[in-house]
Chains A and B, each alone.
Chain A
Amino acid sequence: MLREKIEKHLLEIQKPSRYIGGEVGSVTKDKSKIDVRFAFCFPDTYDIGMSHLGMKILYSLTNERENYWCERCFAPSLDFEKIMRENDIPLYALESLDPIKDFDFIGFTMQYELSYTNVLNMLDLAGIPIFAKDRTDELTQIVVAGGPCVCNPEPLADFFDIFILGEGEEVNLELMDLYNDMKKKGASRLDFLREAAQIEGIYVPQFYEFFYKENGTVDHIETKENAPAVVRKRIIKDLDKVYYPENFVVPFTEIVHDRVSVEVLRGCIRGCRFCQAGFIYRPFREKSSDVICAETKSLCENTGYDEVSLASLSTSDHSDIDNMLTKLIDYTENERINLSLPSLRVDNFSESLLEKIKKVRKSGLTFAAEGGTQRLRDVINKNVTEEEIMNTCRIAFQGGYAAVKLYFMMGLPTETDEDIIGIAELAQRIVDLFYSIENRPKGKGVQVSVSCATFVPKPFTPFQFEPQDTREEIERKQKLLLDSVKTKKIRVSYHDPNVSMLEVILAKGDRRLCPVIYEAWKKGCKFDSWSEHYKFDKWLEAFEECGVDPKFYANRRFEYDEILPWEHLDYLVSKEFFIRENKTAHKSITTPHCRQRCSGCGVNKKVGRECF
C-alpha cells in the first residue's frame, strides 16, 4: 500500500506532517461512493499552497457535493522528491493518499509565472504524460488550470487539456457535472473536451491553432471542433450569495499565512496601470458587512484560529468600511482574536475607529509608493501623494513606530534617472521627518527600508504593450539608486533582474514557449521563484536550443494593432480601453478611480449593469 511506502520514509525528511494529511478540517470520503475525483494541485510547497484562499474555497465547495471528492496536492520539497523518485512513490493526494494519476481531474492553480516548471515536475512525479497530446483517449485524467496566470495561458497550452477563465465557483461544478454525465455515457476524452468548450469560461487550447507572421508576431488564430472564437471569463454576480467555506483545513506545521482569511471584495476601483489584478478581477463587487462578520465568526469558531485577516485588493475601498471594522473589532476583541488589516488606507476614518484600529495594528508600516516622483506616480496612476505618505509617517512616528517600509518599482514606462534618484530622496525626507519630530520614539534610530522590484509588464493591463528594461539597464539603475542613498538608515533591497526577465517572458509569451519550458524543466529547472533554486543559465540554454529569442517577448514593444497572444480571451475589459490608458499614461495624466468617474473600461457593458 502506498501509505506504508510513504510512512517508511517520512522521518527522513523535513516537516513530515506536510505529506501525510489528517489535518483538522480535511475532508475524507468513502471512495466507492464517489463519481468524480478532483486533485487540487498547487505548484509549490505545502507551506505556500496551504495559504492560498482560492484553494480553500473550491475545496470546500466541491466537497459539499456528496458524490464529488476534492483532495489537495502540493509540490514536494527536494528532499522528499528524491525519496519519491528513488522509491517509486507517485505524487499522491493528501486525503486518501491515492496517486493523483487515477483521478478524473488534476487541477492546478496558476498564481505566478515562476511556478510553471513545477507543474511539469508534478505531472512527471504523478506519472501523467506531460503533453496533453500524449494522454489517453479515455475519459479520465483531465488536466486543468485556473488562476490569474491563465489570462494568458499560451506558454502552458501544450500541457493542459482545459483552462478555466475567471472565477471558479460556478463553472468548476458545471464542468464536473458535464464530465459525470458523459463518463456514464461512455464518452471519449475528445467528446468531452468538445462539449466542455461550449461552456462559458472554458478554453480548450488544442482546438485553437496559432499562425505567425514573418516578423514573429501572431498573424491569426484558427479554431476547430466548433470552439468559440473568443472565450469569456466567468464572474460571480452576487458576492453575498456566493459560496464561502465555514471551515478551513488547519495545518499542523506553520504556513505562510497561518490564519483565517475572509474575503471582503473582488475587483478594484483604483486602476493602477501596472496592476494585473486590478483589471482581471473586475467588476468591483463587495460583500455586505453582515456577511463578512458572519463568515469571520464561523471560520474562527470552526478552525480555532486566533488570528483573522481581511482579503481584498484594497479593503478601505469597501463602501461600509467604518461600520464593518467597528463590528469586526468588537467581535475579535471579545474573543481575543488578532485582526490584521493589510492594504488599508487610513485617510478618512472616524476618530473612534482610528482609536480602535490603533489597538489592532501591531504589524509594521508599509507603503506601496511604486514610483519615486509624483510625475512617475501619475504615469502609473498610483494616486498616492508625498503629502499623504509624510502625514501617515508623522502619525506613526508619534505613535511609537521607528521603521517604515516602502515598495517601489524600477523600469517603469517613461522612467528617467531623476525618478530613481527620487526614490532615495523620498526615503531621505522620511528620515529627516523622523528627526524633526519632538516626541519621536526615544533611544531608537529610524529605519527606512526601500524594496525595489523590477517592473514586469503584464497582459490585460494598460502597460501590456510596454517592453521591460534590459538587464543591463536595470543593473545600472540599481547601482544609481544605491549611489544616491547617503545614509545607513535607509536600507535598499531589490530583485534579481534575471528573474523578472523570465517572469515577463512567461507572462506575455505565446505557444512557442511550451518547448522552452519543457527543455528548461528537463535541464533541472524547478522552484524558479526560490532564488536558491533559480538556474538562469539553464533557461538561457533552453531558449537557445529551441531557437526562441527571449528579447522578442521581454524587451520589444507590442504594437497596438498587433494580435496579442491572449487576444482570443475576453476578461471583460476592452483592448481599446487599454490602448487609451496607455496613451494617457505617456502624457503623465491620471485617470480617476471608478467611484469618481467611470473610465469606460467596458466591463459594465458586457456584464449588463452599472458598477456603482
Chain B
Amino acid sequence: MWTLFHKFGSPPWLYRLSGSILRWLLPITVVALVAGSVWGLLFTAPDFRQGNSYRIIYIHVPAAVVALAGYYVMAIAGAVSLIWRMKMADIAMRACAPIGAALTFIALVTGSIWGKPTWGTWWVWDARITSMLILLFLYLGVVALYEAYENKALAAKACAVLSLVGTVNIPIIYKSVDWWYSLHQPASIKFTGGSTIDPSMLYPLLFMILAFYALFTCALLLNMRAEILQREQRTAWVRALAGERGGN
C-alpha cells in the first residue's frame, strides 16, 4: 500500500501508467460518448410535455454531475498535496480546475439552451442554474489564484486550501440557494425513492453520466501528462523520451 503511494509520487511512473490507461480508456470514452448520444437522441421516446427539446439532458445533466464531482476530486487532490506534500497531487489539482470550469460552462450553456423552449427565456435565476453559476465562479477563483502566484509550488498549496474551503461551503451554498428559490422541477433521479423518469430515458442518461466520468478522467490524465513533461523537462527520463520520439 505504502509503496504504491510512493509510486504515485514518482513522475515517470505516473506518466507511464497514465499512458497505458489512456491507451484503452480514450477509445472507450469516444465510443461511449457517441453511443450514448445516439441512444439518447434517436432511440428514446419524446417527452410528453417537452417534446424533443428535453434530449439536451443527455449532455446537460452529465456535465453538471461531473462538474460537481470534479470539484471534490480537486479538493481531495488538494488535501493530499497539503498533508503528504505530494507533487503529483499538485499537478492533479491544477489539472482539475480548467476541466471542471469547462464542464460547468457546458452545463450552464446547455441549461440556457434548454431553458429557451421550456421557459421561453434564455436565463432564469432558478436554484440549480444559480448554483452552477456559483460553481463556475469557484472554479475560476481557483484558476485565478493559481495564476496569481509566481511560485507554483505555493500556488498549488494556496489553491488546495481554497478548494478545501470550497468543499465545506458547496453544500451550504447549494442548500441556501435551493432554499432561496425552488422553481425548477423537483429532483428527478433518486436511486432510493420512486423515480419519476421513465427507465427508457434513465438508462441512456446514466450511461452518458458514466461516459462523462470517463471523459473527465481522460482530460485529467492528458492535462497531467502535459504538466509533468513541462515540469520535468530537464530530467533524464524526459530527455530520453524526447530523444526516442525524435529518433523515430
Q: Do A and B come from one complex?
A: no
